[in-house]
Amino acid sequence: MNLTHYWRAMWGIIGRELWRFVTQRERFISALVRPLVWLFVFAAGFRAALGLAISPPYETYILYEVYITPGLCGMIQLFNGMQSSLSMVYDREMGSMRILLVSPLPRWFLLLSKLLAGVGVSVLQVYVFLGIAWCYDIHAPWQGYLWVLPALLLSGLMLGALGLLLSSFIKQLENFAGVMNFVIFPMFFLSTALYPLWKLKESSVLLHNLAHYNPFSQAVELIRFALYAQLNSEALLYTASAFVLFMAAAIIGYNPSKGMMSRKGGA
């Protein structure tokens, strides 16, 4: 096997995922509807709770929208990571993933290629979401739209690797929805996606600690700082470490001699 084989295999996997994404337009629309509902409906409720004026300017309202926008970018990537892992379970049941995993290429490379394909889709969805937010006067510095790209790539890799890890434990497609909800909702609500850490600490020290050590919180903080052309080194280190940990565990989980696949009768 040479580099050409690796290159062709990687782009074959990525191309398949992109084609699946293009042909499944409802997946793209649903990925945008969810954060847009949170952005406009939830923020409107926040404005009403504060008793702000219905007519502009909405200074506090806009500030809150700007604050939660990075959290909703993380939401897109979180759901996309779980959606990609759902497709892994489906492909494994249908047999296409089994054929892929028995190829001469290393499993870690095949899983990483699958992960990169999902991250590419999630980054595209985030930028479309940011474009819609821009049309509604929710702006970040123009440099932030460049800075946020590597942050989105790293956070997408981390959340996608978590999805891969979960898919290695799930035997049947029917069981995935429950597991996905069990992971998504605690990760999202016990995070800084909607409220800052100091606000959570005012309510409960336990909630503050859970949110602080939540990998999704660190991914959101990485995106938040990058969107305003700043670097959060703690969030960067934490997110990168979580990615390495989740990816290593997923590779072991898909190893037929060591991981969960061995308990299910092979790949």
Which residue numbers in the chain have pLDDT < 70? Answer: 1, 24-27, 42-65, 90-102, 171-177, 256-267
**What per-residue confidence (pLDDT) applies to 245?**
95
User: How many other CB atoms sit within 10 Å of the CB of residue 169?
Assistant: 15
pLDDT at residue number 20: 73
Identity of the amino acid at 27: R
CA distance 13 to 148: 25
The string of pLDDT tens digits covering residues 227-250 is: 988 999 999 999 999 999 999 998
Query: Considering the entire predicted model, what is its pTM?
Result: 0.82
Instruction: Give CA–CA dist 136/17, Å, rounded.
Output: 31
pLDDT (0 to 100) of residue 56? 45
The domains of the chain are located at 3-26+67-264
Residue 173's pLDDT is: 65
The pLDDT score that the predictor gives to residue 149 is 95
Residue 78 CA to residue 162 CA, distance in Å, equals 9
Task: Please tell me what DSSP assigns to residue 130.
Answer: H
**pLDDT of 86:** 73
DSSP-assigned states of every residue in 36-97: HHIIIIIHHHHHHHHT--SSSP-HHHHHHHHHHHHHHHHHHHHHHHHHHHHHHHHHHHHTHH
Q: Residues with Cβ < 8 Å from 150, sequence gap 6 or more? A: 226
pLDDT tens per residue, range 147-183? 999 999 999 999 999 988 888 877 666 666 677 778 8
pLDDT for 53? 44
